[in-house]
């Protein structure tokens, strides 16, 4: 419970989960259940401090009436493959799956600890996390959230989603700098102010993907996808299924690995990267090397050179705390590390990796539309493209599920370009243009974000972030 509340361990390392192998999880029987019941089983197993009834109530308040699909995360057949659509939540991105639930987990964990402090969540975002976190925490009692985003580093739609977000406990502030400036600003606040705020009854927490409470809800959709293929008669119980995952911080694909550890017949996990292909090189050679230029791509949520959840995977696979600690130390001091050969072989027996540049991303969007009449976003396109590389390399592979992580309407400019549309269009006009071209329905929440009034105007320099948080914390309530 401590892990959910604090997000990061006192020594700066990440909390991880106890061994799964001994859990004796009855994965076969959960496959007969609906999505919310599967979620209750998995969450209770991995977060044993919560009772079944408690968890069921939490899941209902987190998800009911918030997702536009009854199944939450439906599976759609496209050609020979399946797309697992994770973007039917309140902000049209897959981060909703975890960030709808996390605030409720935190609130209940506080109550169970007998803790009456208020939770103040601080998050730096390059886009989707901030949007989904604000929506998730909006008006959850006992919590407040401040999101920092780089002033020129998020898409126009993502910016609109954040600066128009209602709720009396949410704040968003532009930082004059890049994502790293915002991120290191947040880290500084944690070390400089956590103690003094605690004395005022305010507990700092984070909503980034290193928080274990964000990881666990993502395991659920690997099971629900497998269950959907079973129901559709595309597999029989026990058959393997491969998953292709558009990867940034390695949280989503790590959840797939944990599903496999719990017994789900996951074949290969395909790690799909954009031009920031650190993970492709790592999974092919065992050498992690972040000493390379950072590239801004059309799939910005995957523009990452240090994937923080990889640390957890290395620990789960090796069980060797000293080794992982030495590797992470080397990464921060020298920018690279090499893992031992036996560990690399273990990794490669589960993971396959490939990458996709912007040109290939646009081509993939076009191909999916022309050949299958399926409209996808840029991140999903990366995963689809790499999945096709994988299929060419492994004829006779099992059925393949591609994780679709955002609505195409979150990145309308790139999708319009891919479809050959010319001319400028921004905001609502871009959404309407893409809709006119394809007839695919536009998610309500995106129309609303482009039409609502701006409520958040704050803009500060990175140096002022600490002062800003202290001033906000002092106000007893934020009237927007």
Task: Quickly tell me which residue has 């199944």 as its tokens.
Answer: 71
Cβ(150)–Cβ(181) below 8 Å = yes
Which one, 74 or 248, has the nearer CB to ligand PLP? Answer: 248
Instruction: For residue 150, list its beta bridge partners.
Output: 175
Which one, 230 or 440, has the nearer CB to ligand PLP? Answer: 440
Q: How far is the CB of 53 from ligand PLP (least distance, A)?
A: 30
Neighbours of 158 (CB within 10 A): 25
Which one, 62 or 254, has the nearer CB to ligand PLP? Answer: 254
405: contact with ligand PLP by CB under 6 A? yes
Q: How far is the CB of 302 from ligand PLP (least distance, A)?
A: 5
SS3 447: helix
Q: Which two tokens stand for residue 102?
A: 């996390």
Cβ(125)–Cβ(209) below 8 Å = no
Based on its alpha-carbon atoms, the radius of gyration of the chain, rounded to whole angstroms, reads 21
Eight-state DSSP code of residue 139: T
Which one, 35 or 407, has the nearer CB to ligand PLP? Answer: 407
Taking CB under 6 A as the rule, which mask of x and - marks residues 282-301 in contact with ligand PLP? -------------------x
| Active-site residue (options: 95, 171, 410, 433) | 95
88: contact with ligand PLP by CB under 6 A? no
Which one, 169 or 247, has the nearer CB to ligand PLP? Answer: 247
Among the listed residues 72, 88, 95, 202, the single contact to ligand PLP using CB under 6 A: 95
Give the count of residues interacting with ligand PLP (CB under 6 A).
17
Known active-site residue 95: yes
150: contact with ligand PLP by CB under 6 A? no
Tell me which stretch binds ligand PLP (CB under 6 A): 1-9, 91-99, 179-187, 276-284: 91-99
Q: What dihedral angle (degrees, nearest 10) is formed by the CA atoms of 429, 434, 437, 439?
A: -110
Among the listed residues 268, 379, 385, 433, the single contact to ligand PLP using CB under 6 A: 379
Eight-state DSSP code of residue 462: G
385: contact with ligand PLP by CB under 6 A? no
Cβ(303)–Cβ(126) below 8 Å = yes
Cβ(447)–Cβ(407) below 8 Å = no
Among the listed residues 81, 128, 181, 311, the single contact to ligand PLP using CB under 6 A: 128
Taking CB under 6 A as the rule, which mask of x and - marks residues 170-209 in contact with ligand PLP? ---------------------------------------x
Which one, 108 or 299, has the nearer CB to ligand PLP? Answer: 299
Q: How far is the CB of 389 from ligand PLP (least distance, A)?
A: 18
Which one, 128 or 311, has the nearer CB to ligand PLP? Answer: 128
Q: How far is the CB of 456 from ligand PLP (least distance, A)?
A: 21
Name residues contacting ligand PLP, limited to 236-275 (CB under 6 A): 246-252
Phi, psi (degrees; rounded to nearest 5) at 333: -85, -35
93: contact with ligand PLP by CB under 6 A? yes
SS3 331: helix
Cβ(340)–Cβ(353) below 8 Å = no
Report how far Cα 361 is from the mean position of its chain's Cα atoms. Answer: 20
| For helices 35-46 and 212-231, angle between their N-to-C axes, nearest 10 degrees | 140
In angstroms, rounded to a whole number, what is the distance separating the alpha carbons of residues 104 and 346?
Answer: 36
Name residues contacting ligand PLP, limited to 60-79 (CB under 6 A): none
Pairing of strands 143-150, 351-355: unpaired
Q: How far is the CB of 82 from ligand PLP (least distance, A)?
A: 17
Q: Which two tokens stand for residue 340?
A: 């031992």
Q: How far is the CB of 101 from ligand PLP (least distance, A)?
A: 15
Instruction: For residue 207, list its beta bridge partners.
Output: none
Which one, 87 or 390, has the nearer CB to ligand PLP? Answer: 87
Look at phi and psi of residue 311 and say left if phi exceeds 0, alpha if psi is from -120 to 50, else beta: alpha
Among the listed residues 17, 146, 262, 406, the single contact to ligand PLP using CB under 6 A: 406
Count of all residues that appear for the chain in the document: 480
In angstroms, rounded to a whole number, what is the distance separating the alpha carbons of residues 268 and 348?
Answer: 9
Which residues form the catalytic set? 95
Q: Which residues bind ligand PLP (CB under 6 A)?
A: 93-95, 128, 209, 246-252, 301-302, 379, 405-406
């Amino acid at each position: 419970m401590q892990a959910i509340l604090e997000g990061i361990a006192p020594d700066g390392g990440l909390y991880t989960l106890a061994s799964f192998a001994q859990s004796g999880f009855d994965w076969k029987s959960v496959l007969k259940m609906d999505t919310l019941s599967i979620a209750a089983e998995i969450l209770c197993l991995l977060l044993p401090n919560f009772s079944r009834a408690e968890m069921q109530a939490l899941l209902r308040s987190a998800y009911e009436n918030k997702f536009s699909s009854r199944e939450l995360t439906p599976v759609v057949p496209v050609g020979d493959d399946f797309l697992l659509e994770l973007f039917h939540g309140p902000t049209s991105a897959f981060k909703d799956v975890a960030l709808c639930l996390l605030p409720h987990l935190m609130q209940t964990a506080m109550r169970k600890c007998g803790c009456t402090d208020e939770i103040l969540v601080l998050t730096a975002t390059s886009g989707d996390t901030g949007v989904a976190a604000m929506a998730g925490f909006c008006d959850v009692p006992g919590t407040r959230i401040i999101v920092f985003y780089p002033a020129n580093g998020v898409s126009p739609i993502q910016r609109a989603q954040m600066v128009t977000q209602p709720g009396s406990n949410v704040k968003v502030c532009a930082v004059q700098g890049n994502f790293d400036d915002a991120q290191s600003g947040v880290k500084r606040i944690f070390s400089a102010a956590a103690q003094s705020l605690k004395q005022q009854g305010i507990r700092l927490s984070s909503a980034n993907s290193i928080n274990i409470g964000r990881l666990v809800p993502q395991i659920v959709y690997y099971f629900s996808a497998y269950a959907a293929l079973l129901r559709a008669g595309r597999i029989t119980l026990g058959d393997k299924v491969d998953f292709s995952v558009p990867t940034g911080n390695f949280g989503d694909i790590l959840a797939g690995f944990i599903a496999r550890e719990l017994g789900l017949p996951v074949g290969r996990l395909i790690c799909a990267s954009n031009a920031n292909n650190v993970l492709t090189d790592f999974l092919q050679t065992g050498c992690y090397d972040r000493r390379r230029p950072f590239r801004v791509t059309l799939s910005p949520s995957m523009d990452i050179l240090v994937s923080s959840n990889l640390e957890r995977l290395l620990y789960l696979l090796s069980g060797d705390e000293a080794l992982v600690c030495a590797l992470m130390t080397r990464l921060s001091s020298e920018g690279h590390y090499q893992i031992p050969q036996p560990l690399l072989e273990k990794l490669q027996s589960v993971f396959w990796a490939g990458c996709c540049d912007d040109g290939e991303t646009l081509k993939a969007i076009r191909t999916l539309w022309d050949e299958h009449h399926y409209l996808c976003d840029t991140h999903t396109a990366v995963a689809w493209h790499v999945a096709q590389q994988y299929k060419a390399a492994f004829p006779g592979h099992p059925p393949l599920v591609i994780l679709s992580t955002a609505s195409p309407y979150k990145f309308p400019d790139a999708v319009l370009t891919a479809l050959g549309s010319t001319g400028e269009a921004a905001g609502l006009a871009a959404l309407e243009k893409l809709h006119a071209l394809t007839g695919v329905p536009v998610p309500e929440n995106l129309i609303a974000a482009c039409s609502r009034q701006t409520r958040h105007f704050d803009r500060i320099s990175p140096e002022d972030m600490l002062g800003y948080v202290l001033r906000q914390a002092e106000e007893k309530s934020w009237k927007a």
